[in-house]
């Protein structure tokens, strides 16, 4: 019975060793939501143009 648990532990360790993961930040998701909600056009419409160099967010 002990040998079976040891084999299971070794197989699990081998499986976990092969798993690769990477961090996915929230920033791409937030940018996508802001584009869907058309926040840039709202900001461009609501905020006054501070100087001639500003072309807007879009």
> What separation in angstroms does the CA of 2 have from each of 10, 13, 15, 20, 38?
13, 17, 20, 30, 61
pTM above 0.85, yes or no: no
Taking only the tens of pLDDT, the chain with its 58 residues reads 567 788 888 888 887 777 777 777 888 888 899 999 999 888 888 887 766 666 665 5
């Amino acid at each position: 019975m002990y040998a079976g648990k040891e084999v299971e532990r070794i197989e699990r360790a081998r499986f976990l060793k092969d798993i690769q993961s990477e961090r996915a930040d929230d920033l791409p998701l937030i940018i996508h939501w802001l584009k869907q909600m058309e926040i840039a056009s709202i900001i461009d419409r609501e905020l006054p143009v501070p100087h001639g160099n500003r072309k807007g967010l879009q």
